[in-house]
Amino acid sequence: MPQKKTVVIGLLGIQKDAGKGAVRWEKWRPTIALCSHEDLLVHRFELLIQPSHRELAKQIIADIKDVSPETEVRPHSVQFEDAWDFVEVYGQLHDFARGYPFKPDSEEYLIHLSTGTHTVQICLFLLTESRHLPARLIQTSPPKYRKNRLSDPGTYNVIDLDLSKYDFLAARFQQEQKEATSFLKSGIPTRNKEFNRLIARIEQVAIASRDPLLLMGPTGAGKSRLAKRIYELKRARHQMSGAFVEVNCATIRGDSAMSALFGHIKGAFTGAINARDGHLRGANNGVLFLDEIGELGLDEQAMLLRALEDKVFLPLGSDKEVKSEFQLIAGTNRDLAERVREGRFREDLLARINLWTFCLPGLRERKEDIEPNLQFELDQFADRNGRRVTFTREALTRFLKFATSNEASWNGNFRDLNGAIIRMATLAEGGRISVEVVEEEVARLQSAWQQPGTTAQFSCLENHLSPEDLESLDLFDRMQLESVINVCQSSRSLSEAGRKLFHSSRNRKQTTNDADRLRKYLLRFGLDWSRVRD
């Protein structure tokens, strides 16, 4: 097979290629230098010339003949009114590329990037990357020492935009992908192949897109944690500068939902003493994570849809629009299509947020990932409590045997696992979880799972506190607050709940204002009676 001919396409350099008289040979001129390399035979040079520089072009063509008689030079006219105007330059070069009779079977093409304005160089790069110009790029550089310019054409470097041919770059890219997926998994070396593929795809989409993401899956599958990691990954890549704002839609209702999401102006409703920005404005240039989005009211859904499409919304009571550039990540354990059929979710909103949907599997579907998650949960416990806890070998074997068996239903998924580790680590004497502690926990989990509609961890707290607030509570406070909220929800009034909770101690007090005691207790956790009752 005959060797392919080398064809260079380049723009005449108005400044760099210019020169008059014999002294022009003392100057390094990139177009002339490219044709002077002994190890690079240019069979044809397609020289792009602006009509106003025809005289310079004649001189350059003659000089190319002097240094490389074998090189055929073909001039092509390109008209730039403004060589720095991107639209004009790209259009002219695109027209040239579309009209040029490329013959890749018999010719190899090089695009010379060392002449022309930066705008020209960028446009040539983009046209080569998109394969409008089926070529590689070539850069030329002058010799290091000025005195050698008469005899030394300098150096050149050929760049192939097919990065798969560069082992180092490909390996580096793959390593970055592995690091990103590991980051999304909180560094946990998960073993479930389907889950690992899912996370890899989420990483790919998260980096490339600012469109809404919908994370589906059962309660406790890790939607909230994953959303936060997606945000942190994008922020580390300098893709956003704003905050991560998390809202549990199950905990906001009515006017409070409108105010919480979209804000309000002073005097918008009774009690609106001060203006409020709202979560959408707080997430400007960041991520808004709406957990349990299926619980959002229809009015809030309509306003959210407009905010997604137009990036503007009206705070409650205001006639002035507010702008917010946020990326939405929505989480749900509901069948949103079913809620659309029930008239409880807007079909147009579902269509808008359903572009990228990822279904996170429950723990029962990922039992091989329980063991690597154990160490992660123990590390989290150590960070919170300043105390390192480990399993004895026998205890670890016993727990894993139960956790991966059909006996373990994991109704609350990773929340159940998190609760189990917290309890066992708390009870571990000398920092070692024994078989006895494991047996006690196994019995507790089995008992909890046998009660219909319950999970092993603090289900009602999840509806009232954010994951960050839950993380900051000790196990004792969690269990106590869970019991208090259960009593409140079964009582008709704040006073009735107070009487139930303080029945034994109220007779020993001078004042018997149980409602006030309960109100102050709830306030410690940022709660009030109406919120708990909802």
Interatomic CA distance for residues 459 and 479, integer angstroms: 11
Q: How many helices (H) and strands (E) does the chain have?
A: 21, 15
d(CA 32, CA 24): 11
pLDDT of residue 148: 53
Predicted local confidence at residue 397, as pLDDT: 95
Q: Mean pLDDT over residues 393-414, rounded? A: 93
What is the pLDDT at residue 164?
55
The Cα 14–Cα 94 span in angstroms is 21
- Residue 243, domain member (yes or no): yes
Share of the chain above pLDDT 90, in %: 56
**Band (390; pLDDT cuts 50, 70, 90):** very high
pLDDT in tens, 33-66: 999 999 999 999 999 999 999 999 999 999 999 9
> 140 and 23 share a domain?
yes
User: Which sign, positive or negative, has the C-alpha torsion 470, 474, 479, 481?
Assistant: negative
Predicted confidence at residue 286, as pLDDT, reads 94
Residue 468 lies in a domain: no
Task: Give the domain extent around 280.
Answer: 170-359
- pLDDT the model gives residue 34: 95
CATH of the domain at 21: 3.40.50.10770
The residue out of 161, 189, 204 marking a domain boundary is 161
217 plus 345 within the same structural domain: yes
pLDDT per residue as tens digits for the range 13-42: 999 999 888 889 889 999 999 999 999 999
> Residues 149, 71: one domain?
yes
Structure tokens that stand for 55 in this block: 């005289």
C-alpha gyration radius of the chain: 34
Average per-residue pLDDT in the chain? 87
Is 65 among the domain residues?
Answer: yes
Residues 100, 114, single domain; the answer is: yes
Same domain flag for 182 and 322: yes
Q: Which of 306, 330, 359 is the last residue of a domain?
A: 359
Question: How many other CB atoms are there within 10 angstroms of residue 502's CB atom?
Answer: 19
> Using CA atoms, how far apart are residues 247 and 282, in angstroms rounded to an integer?
11
Do residues 48 and 79 make contact, with C-beta atoms less than 8 angstroms apart? no
Domain for residue 474, yes or no?
no
Could you tell me the CATH number of the domain that includes residue 423? 1.10.8.60
Same-domain pairing of 114 and 13? yes
φ, ψ of residue 264 to 5 degrees: the values are: -150, 165
Question: Partners of 357 in the beta sheet?
Answer: 214
Query: What is the token pair recorded at 219?
Result: 């309660």
- Residue 54's H or E segment, with its range, is helix 54-67
71: left (phi over 0), alpha (psi -120 to 50) or beta: beta
Give the domain-ending residue among 330, 359, 388: 359
Count of domains observed in the chain = 4
pLDDT in tens, 407-458: 898 988 999 999 999 999 999 989 999 999 999 999 999 988 886 554 444 4
SS3 139: strand
pLDDT of residue 457: 46
With b for 16 or more beta-carbon neighbours within 10 A and e for fewer, the 362-381 pattern comes to bbebbbebbeebbebbbebb
Q: Domain check: are 373 and 298 in the same one?
A: no
- For residue 271, the SS3 value is coil
Spatial contact of 220 and 455, defined as CB atoms under 8 Å apart: yes
Q: Quickly state the pLDDT bin for 11 (edges 50, 70, 90).
A: very high
Q: How many residues appear in the chain?
A: 534
Query: Is 185 among the domain residues?
Result: yes
C-alpha–C-alpha distance, residues 398 and 393, integer Å: 9
In a domain, 458, yes or no: no
Mean pLDDT over 246-252 rounds to 90
Alpha helices in 135-222 (DSSP H): 167-184, 193-208
Band (507; pLDDT cuts 50, 70, 90)? low
pTM: 0.61
Q: Are strands 136-141 and 155-159 parallel, antiparallel or unpaired?
A: antiparallel
Q: How confident is the model at residue 119 (pLDDT cuts 50, 70, 90)?
A: very high
User: Which amino acid is present at 382?
Assistant: A
Q: Using CA atoms, how far apart are residues 112 and 132, in angstroms rounded to an integer? A: 15
* Whether residue 474 has pLDDT greater than 70: yes
Could you tell me if 44 and 177 lie in one domain?
no
Query: Which residue's structure tokens are 């055929």?
Result: 72
Claim to verify: residue 332 and residue 218 sit in the same structural domain: yes
Residue 520 backbone dihedrals phi, psi, to 5 degrees: -70, -35
